[in-house]
Amino acid sequence: MPTREQVLEALKDVQDPELHKSLVELNMIRDIVVDGSKVSLTVALTVPGCPLKNEIQRMVEERLLALDGVTEVNVTMGSMSAEERTALFGGNKLQSVPLLSPQSPTRFIGVASGKGGVGKSTVTVNLAAAVRRLGYSVGIIDADVYGFSVPRMLGITGKPTAIEGKILPMPNPYGLKVISMGNFVDNNEPVIWRGPMLGKVLQQFLADVFWGDLDYLFLDLPPGTGDVALDVARFLPGSHMLIVTTPQTVAAGVASRAAHMAKKSNQKIIGVVENMSTFVCSECGKATPIFGEGGGQKLADELGTELLAQIPLTLPLREGSDNGQPIVFMEGTENDAARLAIEALAQRVVQLTPVPARA
């Protein structure tokens, strides 16, 4: 009859396919019971819906049946608690990060949307640049791990530099402190990870990047109400949220889901930004509501918050995003309608989330 120690020894080489660590080392093997030739145990997965659950179960059963004296194996597939996942993926590490201490004056502002394609990243980058031009120290976390676009919008290339265990934000000519998954992968290499790994990336961006003294840290969130949005609520309780939508009713309706999730997780919604409110012709200056009208105001009314800005689509705004230059840093755009709207938005965001004086 095998002992508990022999069971663990047999399983020490069975790895979680994503974390690439032993199930034993990760404390995923629980409730071992040896009854004669029968071995029963529980495997606590990181998430209940792990797509490789059956493969992990097969490997565990195969290893145990190879033990002398074992003729029957009963494996129950369970999952970790939220607290266990936090401990596993470094949640306790965040407690010692000065940026996240209760005394930190840094304001965290998540920029969220219900669906992709509404210009959330464009709003994040240009708003952050406009706040920077007001004289504040500003950082950006590109938390859209699957659909990162911030490096392109700021003209950032290359890989980050690490000094004494700290990652330096990516250099750029605008004085912004920026980090993105796009800085760690080659070209357009896709990121194919399960949810817990996304949370680990966010934690590393918060804890391992040398942010210095920041007044504002903007987070470009992936669309929807998935793992990263939940992790932001968990790691940054009390953070502020901007909800981005277009004038279309359907886009505003989807965005409301992200907003309601933020409310339920005790995040503070500071307002709605209606992007692509009109298209402004570069020749005649006529503004045309090609995506409809009223979606932003309707969403703000539903949420009981303020419609902070209606940003039109202009040629300089599009060109700046493609060429890696925020519109507020582009010469000759001082009277551009999109730039004026973004600068007014920056002023309002600073008013709504004032930074306390540093000691």
Does residue 260 lie in a domain region? yes
Q: Can you say whether the dihedral through the CA atoms of 169, 170, 173, 174 is positive or negative?
A: negative
Please state whether beta strands 177-180 and 240-245 pair in parallel, antiparallel, or not at all (unpaired): unpaired
| 206 and 323 assigned to the same domain | yes
Q: Kindly report the backbone phi and psi dihedral angles of residue 54, in degrees, each rounded to the nearest multiple of 5, phi listed first.
A: -65, -35
The answer on pLDDT for 77 being more than 60 is yes
Which region holds residue 155: left if phi is over 0, alpha if psi is between -120 and 50, else beta? left
Rounded Cα distance, 272 and 112, in Å: 10
The pLDDT tens digits of the residues spanning 229-266 come to 667 766 776 789 999 999 987 777 777 777 777 776 66
Does residue 85 lie in a domain region? no
| 105 and 130 assigned to the same domain | yes
Does residue 110 lie in a domain region? yes
State residue 359's pLDDT score.
Answer: 57
The tokens for 154 are 């700021």
Q: Which residues contact 96 (CB under 8 A, 6 or more apart)?
A: none
Q: Which residues contact 302 (CB under 8 A, 6 or more apart)?
A: 256
pTM of this prediction exceeds 0.95:
no
| 196 and 310 assigned to the same domain | yes
Average pLDDT, the chain: 86
Between 193 and 26, whose confidence is greater?
A: 26
In the chain the first and final C-alpha atoms are separated, in Å, by 66
State residue 158's pLDDT score.
Answer: 86
| 74 and 198 assigned to the same domain | no
CA 175 to chain centre: 22
Between 356 and 325, whose confidence is greater?
A: 325
Does residue 358 lie in a domain region? no
State residue 82's pLDDT score.
Answer: 72
Q: What is the CATH number of the domain that holds 316?
A: 3.40.50.300
State residue 261's pLDDT score.
Answer: 73
Does residue 359 lie in a domain region? no
Domain that holds residue 48: 4-80
Q: What is the CATH number of the domain that holds 25?
A: 3.30.300.130
State residue 197's pLDDT score.
Answer: 55
| Residue where one domain finishes, among candidates 14, 49, 80 | 80
Average pLDDT over residues 326-337: 96
| 76 and 131 assigned to the same domain | no
- The total domain count for the chain is 2
| 112 and 232 assigned to the same domain | yes
Rounded Cα distance, 76 and 71, in Å: 17
| Residue where one domain finishes, among candidates 46, 80, 114 | 80
| 239 and 291 assigned to the same domain | yes
Q: What percent of the chain has a predicted confidence (pLDDT) above 90?
A: 51
The answer on pLDDT for 205 being more than 70 is yes
Distances (CA, A) of 358 to 140, 183, 355: 21, 31, 9
Between 11 and 83, whose confidence is greater?
A: 11
Residue 295: exposure state from Cβ atoms within 10 A (0-12, 13-18, ≥19): buried
State residue 182's pLDDT score.
Answer: 81
Classified as helix, coil or strand, 111 is strand
| 142 and 72 assigned to the same domain | no
State residue 227's pLDDT score.
Answer: 61
- Among 47-61, 169-183, 217-231, name the one with the lowest average pLDDT: 217-231
Q: Which residues contact 91 (CB under 8 A, 6 or more apart)?
A: 85, 203, 234, 235
User: Closest by alpha carbon to 196, among 4, 8, 42, 47?
Assistant: 47
The tokens for 173 are 């000519």
State residue 193's pLDDT score.
Answer: 47
Rounded Cα distance, 302 and 253, in Å: 10
The answer on pLDDT for 226 being more than 70 is no
State residue 20's pLDDT score.
Answer: 67
Rounded Cα distance, 40 and 83, in Å: 25
Rounded Cα distance, 290 and 287, in Å: 9
| 94 and 70 assigned to the same domain | no
The answer on pLDDT for 126 being more than 70 is yes
Rounded Cα distance, 292 and 295, in Å: 8
| 26 and 150 assigned to the same domain | no
| 270 and 218 assigned to the same domain | yes
State residue 133's pLDDT score.
Answer: 97
The pLDDT tens digits of the residues spanning 11-64 come to 999 988 766 678 998 899 999 999 999 999 999 987 777 767 888 999 999 999
| 71 and 214 assigned to the same domain | no
State residue 185's pLDDT score.
Answer: 73
The tokens for 211 are 């942010």
**Which helix or strand (DSSP H or E) is residue 91 part of?**
none
Between 204 and 38, whose confidence is greater?
A: 38
Q: How confident is the model at residue 116 (pLDDT cuts 50, 70, 90)?
A: confident
Contact 269, 263 (CB under 8 A): yes
Does residue 137 lie in a domain region? yes
Rounded Cα distance, 92 and 100, in Å: 12
Between 197 and 111, whose confidence is greater?
A: 111
Contact 209, 169 (CB under 8 A): yes
The pLDDT tens digits of the residues spanning 260-309 come to 777 766 688 999 999 999 999 888 889 999 888 998 999 999 989 999 99
Rounded Cα distance, 260 and 14, in Å: 41
State residue 192's pLDDT score.
Answer: 46
Does residue 154 lie in a domain region? yes
Q: Which residues contact 73 (CB under 8 A, 6 or more apart)?
A: 38, 39, 40, 60, 61, 64, 65
Does residue 357 lie in a domain region? no
The tokens for 346 are 């920056």
Q: Which residues contact 137 (CB under 8 A, 6 or more apart)?
A: 177, 212, 213, 214, 215, 216
Average pLDDT over residues 125-137: 97
State residue 340's pLDDT score.
Answer: 97
| Residue where one domain finishes, among candidates 80, 100, 118 | 80
Between 116 and 275, whose confidence is greater?
A: 275
